[in-house]
Each structure stands twice: as structure tokens, then as C-alpha cells.
Amino acid sequence: MIVYNYTTEGVQIWSPTQSIFKNYIEEVSKDPDFGDPKTYDFKISRKGTAMESEYTITALLKPDNMKPMEKDILNEASQINLNALITNDNPFEVVSIADTAKVMF
């Protein structure tokens, strides 16, 4: 999943491996106050390190001060090749559309 990290102010790939994240996002998306999870943000916090890490996730309604997704951010996100994760390549490496089509088909 391609996400925008407000702390680093950059686009990243997030792969939620813990079922608690997936379950939470699914449940919140059923709530009529939230709906489609692409229309609001999630705050993910971590306490501890390595195997002692504990995560919490919170859905955030759009605040008045939320940074709008500018064209450059959306363009950066569109350049990420998620198919590269399957082939064990670098998803941030810029590839041509022809090369991407070869991976997809």
C-alpha cells in the first residue's frame, strides 16, 4: 500500500503484516462516519523496539489543518512500482511504462 508519511513528508510503502491493522481498517471502513479508508488518515504509533514493539492505530477524520495532497506528492506516489515487491526489485526505481507492463502481464 502506498502511503504518505507526514513525519518524513514523503511517500512510502506500508505493508501491514499484523492482522490487527487490517482488521481495524476494515472495521473503521464500515463506520458511516468514516467510510472509504482512502478518504482519511490513520495515525500509527509504536512503543518499544524490535520484538518488544507495540503498535496502535487510530483513524483520523480530516482536520482543518490537513495538508492537501499536492500534485508533486501524487506524482511521486504514482511512480512507485508495487509489482517490484513481487520480483524482489526496487519499487522506487523509475521504470518505463513498457517495463511495468512486462511485469504485470
- Give 10-residue mean pLDDT values along the chain (105 residues): 84 77 88 85 86 86 63 78 83 65 46
Tell me the whole-structure pTM to 2 decimals: 0.52
Residues 6+ apart with CB under 8 A from 76: 10, 11
Q: What is the pLDDT of residue 96?
A: 58
Q: 59, 28 in Cβ contact below 8 A?
A: yes
Q: What is the pLDDT of residue 68?
A: 64
Pairwise CA distance, residues 56 & 77, whole Å:
25
